[in-house]
Amino acid sequence: MENKQAAMLVERFASLKSLRSNWESHWQEIGDYMLPRKADIVQQRTRGDKRTELIFDGTALHALELLASSLHGMMTNASTPWFTLGYKENALAEDDAAREWLDSVTNDMYIAFNRSNFQQEIQELYQDLISFGTSAMFVASDEKSLVRFNTRHIKEIYVQENEKGIVDTVFRSFHITARSALNLFGEDKVSKNILDKAKKDPYSDVLLLHVVMPRDNYNTGKQDSMNMPFKSCYVDPEDVHLISEGGFKEFPYVVPRYLKASFETYGRSPAMNALPDVKMLNKMSEVAIKAAQKQIDPPLMIPDDGFMLPVRTVPGGLNFYRAGSRDRIEPLSTGANNPITLNMIQDRQLAIQKTFYVDQLLMSQGGNMTATEVLQRNEEKMRLLGPVLGRLQSELLQPLIERVFNILMRANVFQPAPEILQGMTIDIEYVSPLAKAQRSGDLNSVMRGVEIFGSLAQFAPVLDYLDSDGLVKYVQKTLGLPARIIRSDVEVAEVRQQRQRQEAAVQQQQEQMQQAEAAQKVAPLVKATS
């Protein structure tokens, strides 16, 4: 039975490998010119080998790094909140116990993210995403840090979508030493192939497959690894041997695509769009370097007779020729036009920078801009990245947060939830700078409207149309303000009642004082009439 399952998995892997073959040469070129440290998709390179021999201009490398770092800073910045948890039910949002518990859970999740290797691995993910259009991160539980993240190299990953266009199957093909395989699985689990290699050379590499895919049939009443929604299998493809089988309660991989065609599984990237310009720029730069070298150290024209001594081209070198003779050493004109070449190079550099949004990402750094201009340019920058945000929220942030939440929940990291929350659905709100900028247009319109209403209130009672309570809640939700700094409806009602009581007491005191003053004024008149 196990061998049959292993054979089915190996056969399916071969099919996925064939489907991915068209992408590999594309990824290899991108790696060669824009991400050389990962340029080993098709071409196998030794560790420590030089990988920049094809690069004569670093514009694409810097632009790619800038876009990756910008996405990192605008979406998952460690120094600013980038998500918060809420409730879809309005009643729960006003419950004090529910709000306090959710704030505590959110804080625990941020602590888990910051204590783990998340920031390092997410930067790798953004670079892969911008380079290859597809990236994959494995999210696992860890005894020490509670949660651990590993961004897998694109060459190892083979993916497949379900009928909804969601990646739910990942085949990872990777190498491991025979010694490590024995330590991980045990001698009784590994194949004969691995055992033989371990005996001959424990540090020799063996190829393994790690398959994560939906489990078709399982008992929901059982909690063991063989009855979880997702199957996890390790296979030796050489021996067609099933090493181990387990499971996951959630899909452990996060597989975002930058942009994607409806009929394709793997994503498209800015690097793919920039590749023609990048290759042309590198060729032009190479030619320009050679042309400049020829102008600085030009080839020489030497008469074919009369010179027996070697030509000395070093500074101060002496070369003799016959007096009165026109035969002498002269430079050979190559006809190179450096200004035209440099203009063409600058045009390609600018085109590459536009593809990676460098002009938009850097335009808010000018020194002579007002705060309003900076805000407007930031909003424009965010709108350019808006189409990417929707896909990254659904394919990266949401499954990532859900996976980490469930891992921490099973590890009993969170405080016990109030009874009112049993069986309730928690909603994820994205409050990163990029997400806020997407909503800033509506917020600016609302605040402009409030400003106009305030001006009109001097002439007409227009503020009666404005729901101030609703406005506060809208601003809180749009800006992602922490729930703990906003009073609930019950607390607001208590504050207003207390204010009314204080105002009533002050009014009553003022009326009593007025009555006393009136009585004092009337007293002399009463005495006079009497």
Q: Tens digits of per-residue pLDDT, 458-507?
A: 877 777 777 887 777 777 766 666 666 777 777 788 888 888 888 888 88
Q: How confident is the model at residue 338 (pLDDT cuts 50, 70, 90)?
A: confident
How high is the mean pLDDT of the chain? Answer: 85
* Among the listed residues 121, 154, 114, the one whose alpha carbon sits nearest the alpha carbon of residue 136: 154
Q: What is the mean pLDDT of residues 404-417?
A: 93
pLDDT of res. 133:
96
pLDDT of res. 19:
94
- How far apart CA 244 and CA 349 sit, in angstroms, is 51
* Among the listed residues 74, 75, 25, 34, the one whose alpha carbon sits nearest the alpha carbon of residue 54: 34
pLDDT of res. 424:
77
Two tokens, residue 105 = 């859970």
> Which is higher by pLDDT, 263 or 441?
263
First to last CA, the chain: 121
Q: How many helices (H) and strands (E) does the chain have?
A: 16, 12
pLDDT of res. 11:
96
| 375 pLDDT above the threshold of 90 | no
This prediction has a pTM of: 0.81
> Which is higher by pLDDT, 72 or 426?
72
> Which is higher by pLDDT, 521 or 455?
455
Residues 6+ apart with CB under 8 A from 417: 101
What Å distances lie between residue 115 and 82, 112, 119, 176, CA to CA?
16, 5, 9, 27
Taking the CB of residue 134, how many other CB atoms lie within 10 A of it?
A: 24
> Which is higher by pLDDT, 76 or 467?
76
Q: Phi and psi (nearest 5°) for 252?
A: -80, -10
> Which is higher by pLDDT, 364 or 414?
414
Give the start-end residues of each E strand in 180-313.
Answer: 205-214, 230-236, 241-248, 253-254, 300-301
pLDDT of res. 219:
85
| Candidate from 26-35, 188-197, 299-308, 345-354 with smallest mean pLDDT | 299-308
Residues 6+ apart with CB under 8 A from 504: none
Contact 486, 475 (CB under 8 A): no
* Sole residue written with tokens 């560790």: 47
pLDDT of res. 89:
73
Q: How confident is the model at residue 374 (pLDDT cuts 50, 70, 90)?
A: low
> Which is higher by pLDDT, 511 or 72?
72
pLDDT of res. 230:
96
Q: Phi and psi (nearest 5°) for 434?
A: -70, -45
